[in-house]
Structure 1
Amino acid sequence: MKLASLKNGTRDGALIVVSRDLSRAVAAADIAPTLQSAIENWETAEPRLKALSDALNAGNAAGAFAFDAAQCASPLPRAYQWLDGSAYLSHVELVRKARGADMPKSFLEDPLMYQGSSDYFTGPLDPVIVASEDWGVDLEAEIAIITDDVPMLTTPEEARKHIKLLMLLNDTSLRHIIPPELNKGFGFLNGKGVTAFSPVAVTPDELGDAWDGAKVALPLTVHVNDEKLGEPLANVDVYFDFPRLISHATATRTLGAGTVIGSGTISNHDRSRGFCCISEKRALETVEHGKPLTPFFHFGDRVRVEMFDKEGASIFGAIDQPIQKYAR
């Protein structure tokens, strides 16, 4: 089942069900007006949404219309909670190595995770709007999950059943703002731009045998200005899978339905598959050549993030965003 939110002039959009091939869609307002409403009432909403999805894929859904990702907000246009982890320590290790810092052993014991701004997310085809190129504008291509209500002290094994939907995301990062901000010892705020998610969120069964209940065994493909930046494998070098991230997040709190948790930048130790962020490529250039060679984004540049199944079909649709200068 694939779900999306049409822009309709409200903050939360209108829930629609999208066909498996991303060509058709149908309104789901009689089941749930928004995705947040659906996830809060998943036990009753999910079977009805699935029946509508089955009818749509069979060509029997009344009121079906052509699906246009440009008309979509992120599947959750805003969320009560957005947590981003760092599951791929190869990314952390390389970036730290480039600045002459070792990775602390504590990073192997507990996931890095921060609580991000979630009052609004950017639509998948909306521009990345920033005020200055001097901020060091970068992408971070990731996978995210949406949970239902999760109790405090949930174990990794228990956490698996709370993963209801998956998405892709581009977590805009402002690399020149992040270091001095982190040096204050109080975490990210201005160093992170607005996050965009894929046009559709999918139930785990849509991934078939590429989903093992904890991670996705497919590459994540990133293009910058039509040139491939990379396609690292999302199931390789995962030090903390999604159940571990959920368990970590519930160590001292419950998670409300609609909580979004990101994997962090997909990264492999085998750098031949490329990168899911510019910063990691620059870090490798620094290690190998003594200085970074690849620039961060300029206004007018474009980023595209997409995942394909084994037959080459797009699963989530594409995040495809131009970098645009902010004008008040």
Structure 2
Amino acid sequence: MKLATIVDNINSRDGQLVVVSRDLKTAVKTTEIAKTMQEAIDNWNVVEPQLRKVAEDLEKGVLENTFGFSTAHIMSPIPRAYHWVDGSAYVTHVELVRKARGAELPASFWADPLVYMGASDAFIGPNDDILVENEEWGIDFEAEVAVITDDIPAGTKTEQAQKHIKLVMLVNDVTLRNLIPNELGKQFGFYQSKPWTSFSPVAVTPDELGASWDGTKVHLPLTSTLNETKIGSPNAGIDMTFDFARLIEHVSKTRSLTAGTIIGSGTVANNGSPDGSSCLAEVRCLETIQNGAPETPYMKFGDTIEIEMLDQEGNSVFGKIKQKVVQYFPG
């Protein structure tokens, strides 16, 4: 089952939930079942079977109130969330970044996940512009996988965590690299360096991934293309040190999590692969290690980033994130 949120002038902040066909061509509103994604996930046990029936009828072509699924009128699958926590599950990525600046990776990083809380008051749509004031802030994309959960009790262990994963989607975790050093130097985490985040056009139930979903990871390549040039296509199921079950255990250690919580994987990366990068920072690190200095610039105004995951038959699973970097002027 594939779900999305379309623009709704009445419910402008949270949009209207729709069920989308597997080929991403048609959709149908679910107003009588759940108006929004948050309403659906809040009542998932009751709502999910009803949404699945709609999805089945949509595939059969027996519904009359369908419409063309246009990416021009869609929002993030969940336009705002109570909780958005992003991890750094691909430790080889962290190791590479530290190596490029001559720092060793602490041994604890291989056993204890890194996470931070991101801004969840509003997300931008998969085709919305990335608005940034200054190119010198070091504009970068980060291609990731994320899950949406139901209510998770405090102290949940990995063995119980898998059942709480209800939906899977892609992420572009936009990062302003040149603002990071000063923020981390304060030893209090990210804020200014992490502007609004975007997600894929649709979120899918894990069964849509078939054998490519093992219960805690997605085993498919995640492709990032900048200005029609491929940056990387690492397999999201390889080198994921901490799978989503382990991330859930980590973030629920001291408190429960609310339905609709989004947990990101962090930048997908494959160790030692020439095709294994999902952000420009990693590309620049590889250049630094090999040549002594980075050659690839960060994104500029007018650049376009595309992020997509295809299944084993070459079909788009989540739709494509396609965004243009645009300068904004305060005031």
Name the residue aligned to 2:133. Answer: 131
For each residue in 1:111-162, what CA deviation from the matched residue of structure 2 results, as whole angstroms up to 9, or x when unmatched?
0000010000010000000000000000000000000000000011100000
Q: Provide the residue aligned with 1:265 in structure 2.
A: 267
Q: Note if 1:283 corresponds to 2:288.
A: no
**CA–CA distance in 1 between the matches of 2:63 and 2:278?**
38
Q: CA deviation at 1:70?
A: 1.6
Aligned to 2:235: 233
* Residue 107 (structure 2) pairs with residue 105 (structure 1): yes
> Following TM superposition, by how much is the alpha carbon of 1:211 offset from its aligned partner in structure 2, in angstroms?
0.2
Match in the other structure for 1:24: 26
Please report how far the alpha carbon of residue 274 of structure 1 lies from its aligned counterpart in structure 2 after TM superposition: 3.6
Which residue of 1 is the match for residue 169 of structure 2? 167
Alignment gaps of 5+ in structure 2: none
Aligned ranges for residues 232-251 of structure 1 at < 5 Å? Answer: 232-251=234-253
Q: Report the secondary structure of 1:87's partner residue.
A: coil
2:297 is aligned to 295
SS at match of 1:20: coil
Unaligned runs of 5+ residues in structure 1 are: none
What's 2:325 paired with? 323
SS of equivalent to 2:195: strand
Secondary structure of 1:114's counterpart equals strand
AA partner of residue 156 (structure 2): T
Pairwise CA distance, 1:242: 0.2
Give the secondary-structure state (helix, strand or coil) at the position aligned to 1:167: strand
Match of 1:39 in 2: 41
Q: 2:16 aligns with which of 5, 14, 34?
A: 14
* CA deviations over 1:227-278 (Å, ceiling 9, x no partner): 0000001010110000000000000010000000000000011222241000
Structure 1 position 72, deviation (Å): 0.4
Partner of residue 81 from structure 1, selected from 66, 80, 83: 83
CA distance in 2, matches of 1:308, 1:298: 27
The one-letter code of the counterpart of 2:14 is D
Partner of 1:5: 5
Flag as ranges the 4+ runs of structure 1 deviating above 4 A. none
Match of 1:158 among 160, 163, 170: 160
- With normalisation by structure 2, the TM-score equals 0.98
Partner AA of 2:55 in structure 1: S
CA distance in 1, matches of 2:241, 2:181: 24
Q: Is the 8 A contact 1:70 1:124 kept in 2?
A: no
DSSP-derived class of the 1:322 partner:
strand
Post-superposition offset of 1:170: 0.1
Give aligned-pair identity as a percent: 54
Contact 1:302 1:321 survives alignment (8 Å): yes
Q: What is the rounded CA distance, in whole Å, between the counterparts of 1:240 and 1:87 in structure 2?
A: 5
What is the RMSD of the two structures over their aligned residues, measured on CA atoms?
0.6
Deviation at 1:179, TM superposition (A): 1.1
Deviation at 1:105, TM superposition (A): 1.0
User: Aligned equivalents of 1:72 and 1:49: distance in 2?
Assistant: 19
**Any conservation in 2 of the 1:166–1:203 contact (CA below 8 Å)?**
yes
Q: What is the CA deviation profile of residues 176-221 of structure 1, one whole-angstrom value per residue up to 9, with x for unaligned ones? A: 0011100100000001121000000000000000001000010000
Matched residue type, 1:102: E
Distance 1:62 1:241 in 2: 41
One-letter identity of the residue aligned with 1:199: P
Alignment of 1:188-267 (within 5 A): 188-267=190-269
* CA distance in 1: counterparts of 2:60 and 2:159, whole angstroms: 35
Question: Whole-Å Cα distance in 2 between the matches of residues 96 and 223 of structure 1?
Answer: 25
What displacement does 1:327 show?
Answer: 2.4
Q: Retained in 2: the 8 A contact 1:55–1:61?
A: yes
- Cα separation, 2, equivalents of 1:274 and 1:129: 27
Q: Which of 46, 70, 73 in structure 2 is aligned with 1:71? A: 73
Equivalent residue in structure 2 for 1:177, among 176, 179, 183 = 179
Q: 1:272 and 1:57 mapped to 2: Cα distance?
A: 39
- Match of 2:224, SS state, is strand
Q: Following TM superposition, by how much is the alpha carbon of 1:22 offset from its aligned partner in structure 2, in angstroms?
A: 0.2
Quote the Cα distance in structure 2 between the aligned partners of 1:161 and 1:271: 32
